[in-house]
Amino acid sequence: MATVTVPRATASPPRGDRRGARRLTRTAGFGLGLAMTWFSLLVLIPLAAVVVKAAGGGWTTFQSVLTDPGTLVTLRFTILTAVGVTLLNAVMGTLIAWLLVRDAFPGKRILDLVIDIPFAMPTIVAGLVLLALYGHEGPLGIDVSGTKLGVVLAIAFVTLPFVVRAVQPVLASLETDVEEAAASLGASRWTTLRRIILPSLLPAITAGASLSFARAISEYGSVVLISMNARGVEVMSTETYRYIEGGDTAAAAAVAVLLLVIALVTIIVLDVLQRRAARRG
């Protein structure tokens, strides 16, 4: 249901062109000023305060946090899980988008709604139901509470919709002339998929993956319930919490800054890749 019908102008300029971006008018400038004020009060200044807090501890705080073996283990686990789940989402998300766009079967509308359930569920509720199902008292006899797999499960749940929703509209608006031409020239379906369809979808998959990764490294509500702070099953968000509660706010801020830097770098890298892919396509 997220497919957005895009009315095509009769003569559409090639993609990657700057679509009529122009200099700021007075109203636009004023609007930008307002927007920036709100954005600063809400996001930029508070995040700056976190950076200042981390820096207040001097370089020694960063050093002690970065060299703390516990933190490094947690960081590795957080990043690996995020990357792993993002790759899983890239695959499953594309498959699901494929089904939603190119396949027809009874109940397709329901499937569309099911994809949005992780959005609709508050994180703590997600944690509760996953625990009820895959925890110690779960009917399947599987117990992933307090395990790394449990954390993966929780993160896979909350990040499910991102790639699907990013790929769906693009897949829907793909023109199939090229696909048909390839087929008529004897290309197998697999080749068509690999050489023609997937490259067109790559920017969308990347965009969805970026969102998925961002959410995966910062998820707290669902993870904290399943992980139960068991040994070796901590993620950076719970680690930050422990530093805060331990009274070491500077260290907590340092950990937070580290994670934000990783996130920012990922955003930038994926944005550059996306633009490059879009320009080529």
Partner 1 sequence: MNPRTPAVALALIGALALTACSGAGAASTDSSGSVAIVGYSVLEEANQGVQKAFQQTEPGKGVVFTESYGASGDQSRAVAAGQRADEVHLSLEPDVTRLVDAGLVDADWKDNDTAGVCTDSVVVFVVRKGNPKNITTWADLIKPGVQIVTPDPASSGSAKWNLLAAYGSAAANGGDAAAQSYITSFFDNVIALPASGRQATSTFTGGKGDVLISYENEAILARQSGSDFDYVVPDSSLLIENSCALLKDHSDAAESWLAFQKSVDGQKEYAATGYRPLASVADQVGTLTVDGAMTPDDPFPTVDHLLTIDGDFGGWDAANKKFFDADNGILTKIQSEAGF
Partner 2 sequence: MADASSATRTSPRRRTSAGAWVVRAIVAVYLFLLVLWPTAVLFRGAFADGLGTITAAIADPDVVHALVLTGQTAVLAVAINLVFGLGVSLLLVRYDFFGKRVLSWLIDLPLSASPVVVGLALLLVYSPVYGWFGPGLREAGIEVAFAMPGIVMATCFVSLPLVVREVVPVLTELGDDQEQAARSLGAGGWQTFRRITLPGIRWALVYGLVLSLARSLGEFGAVKVVSGHVIGQTATATVAVESAYQNNNTEQAYAIAVLLVLATVLCLVVVAILHTRDAREKG
Residue 245 binds: one of partner 1, partner 2, none (C-beta under 5 to 8 A by kind): partner 1
Which residues are CB-neighbours of 140 under 8 A, at least 6 positions away?
133, 134
228, HSE (Cβ side, Cα atoms, 13 Å): 15
Smallest gap, in angstroms, from Cβ of residue 68 to partner 1?
A: 8
Smallest gap, in angstroms, from Cβ of residue 59 to partner 2?
A: 20
Of the candidate spans 33-41, 138-146, 148-156, 163-171, the one that interacts with partner 1 by CB under 8 A turns out to be: 138-146
Q: What is the DSSP letter of 24?
A: -
Of the candidate spans 31-39, 212-220, 227-235, 261-269, the one that interacts with partner 1 by CB under 8 A turns out to be: 227-235
Give the x/- contact pattern for partner 2 in 204-243, rule: CB under 8 A.
---x--xx-xxx-xxxxx--------------xxx-xx--
Residue 131 binding partner 1, by CB under 8 A: yes
Among 64, 83, 112, 187, binds partner 2 (CB under 8 A): 112
Smallest gap, in angstroms, from Cβ of residue 81 to partner 2?
A: 14
Among 95, 137, 195, 279, binds partner 2 (CB under 8 A): 95
Contact 151, 230 (CB under 8 A): no
Q: How far apart are alpha carbons 25 and 22 in whole angstroms?
A: 9
Q: How far apart are alpha carbons 42 and 6 in whole angstroms?
A: 33
Among 66, 246, 265, 280, binds partner 1 (CB under 8 A): 246
Which residues are CB-neighbours of 179 under 8 A, at least 6 positions away?
192, 196, 197
Residue 136 binding partner 1, by CB under 8 A: yes
Residue 75 binding partner 1, by CB under 8 A: no
Contact 135, 226 (CB under 8 A): yes
Residue 192 tokens, joined: 């068509």
Residue 111 binding partner 1, by CB under 8 A: no
Residue 172 binding partner 2, by CB under 8 A: yes
Phi-psi region for residue 222, left (φ > 0), alpha (ψ -120 to 50) or beta? alpha
Look up residue 111 and give its amino acid: L
Residue numbers of the site for partner 1 (CB under 8 A)?
70, 131, 135-137, 143, 145-146, 224, 228-232, 241-242, 244-248
